[in-house]
Amino acid sequence: MVMPVSSLSAQERYERRSVIDLIFGPRRSQEFPPPPPPRAQPAPQQQQPARRRASPQAPSGGQARQAATPAAPIVEKAEDARTVLVIGDFMASGLAEGLQEAFATSANVVVVSNTNGSSGLVRDDFYSWPANLPTILEDTEPAALVVMLGSNDRQQLRTANGAADLLTDAWKREYAARVDALAAIAETAEVPLIWVGAPAFQSPRMSADILAINQIYRDQMEAAEADFVDIWDGFVDEGGAFITTGSDIQGQQVRLRGSDGINMTAAGKRKLAFYAERPLRRLLEGTVSATVEDIIRADDALIGEVERPRIPELVTRTAPISITDPALDGATTLLGNGETYAEPELRSPRDRLVEEGLAAAPPAGRADDFRWPRRAATTPSATPSVRGADARPTPVDAAGRSDERAAAASDIGPGRSETITAN
């Protein structure tokens, strides 16, 4: 009789029996129940917008961390605030950002950026700074002009005699003439000029070219009696090699340059401004004095009036030295006037050694007594004994014995011995 398939599937199935089955019993296949069907996920109810619209009293974790960071104080600029104009290429744009941060708390200083990222002094056909600078100065009326160029100028330059290769003599002469043209425009407008040099770059060849271009800036600024700010050391290591990470203005190790080895990070831009900030404050003088005092001033109500250190006057004449008392010891006579001093009666061995070079004589019989002929060592028995008014020392023979004891020794017959001990 053949059983239906349905009944076979309902019965339990056994595997082939083995020795283990005889010992531990048959192994039955376990039929696990099918997994439960997945639960239906509830439809999103747009919780994210609700979080964004959350009230300030219950901010999320990320918003709380952002709120914990203190924001920079916003200082309203004064109506008569003086303007600092920054011109140049893309590096000058970063310099302007750093200067704006540096003078953010100065109500009397406004930093204006008028830069062209791809500009320079070589491609005047693309953008000519000597042609556009007079109009910019007229519109801005700055109290100081900051220039930073050179990063785009590593290329051929057109001269009246044709194209000149980079850093050839003809190239340097023409480039220096264009630097002088910018300095002359600032001098004509009576605007103080500060020229900031270019930094090192990741490419060693590019850094070598920029170093030579910076030397042209330095020479021309010295001739024009303008300020040249050298920032090179701030972006290289002790050996002069390019660095990506270095110290910021607070001495902390931060990333200064981008991954391309050219552009500046926010910390690098602030460090650029740090170098240009000092000559700027010197030029602006009183315009930023209030800001500096906000940093270093003390409360007069607490500590009272503080006496400011006074700059000493230039000393052009001093009192002459008195020839009658050069040692200022109250003496009335000069040295070497013929006055003699009494020599001491007794002079120590040290005085004789230092003044005359005579060493003290060693005692007779000591190892360092090199005098010849040798003298007999003085023994206690040779010490004179006082026997009367005309007593004399007892003579001592070669053996160191006195005459009396030598005679006593001669009286001793053969076969007799006498032990003689020193007194």
Q: Summarize pLDDT for 30-43 with one digit per residue, the tens.
A: 554 555 665 655 55
pLDDT tens, residue by residue, 372-398: 776 665 544 444 444 444 444 444 444
For 410, half-sphere exposure in the C-beta direction (CA atoms, 13 angstrom radius) is 7
Q: Which fold has domain 82-290?
A: Rossmann fold (3.40.50)
Q: Which tokens hold the place of 397? A: 């023979």
pLDDT at 53: 40
pLDDT at 316: 53
Q: Which tokens hold the place of 420? A: 């003689």
Q: What angle do CA 109, 112, 114 make, to 5 degrees?
A: 160
- 136 neighbors 86 (Cβ within 8 angstroms): no
- Look at 111-115, 169-173, 224-228, 400-404 and tell me which has the smallest mean pLDDT: 400-404
Query: pTM for this one?
Result: 0.54
- 148 neighbors 93 (Cβ within 8 angstroms): no
Instruction: Identify the band that residue 310 occupies on the pLDDT scale cut at 50, 70 and 90.
Output: low
pLDDT tens, residue by residue, 152-170: 999 999 999 999 999 999 9
φ, ψ for residue 341 (rounded to 5)?
A: -120, 140
In the chain, domain spans: 82-290
Across 108-264, where does the E strand assignment appear? Answer: 109-115, 144-148, 157-159, 162-164, 193-196, 227-229, 245-247, 253-255
- For 249, residues 6+ apart whose C-beta sits below 8 A from its C-beta are 270, 271, 274
229 vs 335, more confident? 229
- R_g (Cα) of the chain, nearest Å: 51
Q: Which tokens hold the place of 98? A: 């750093």
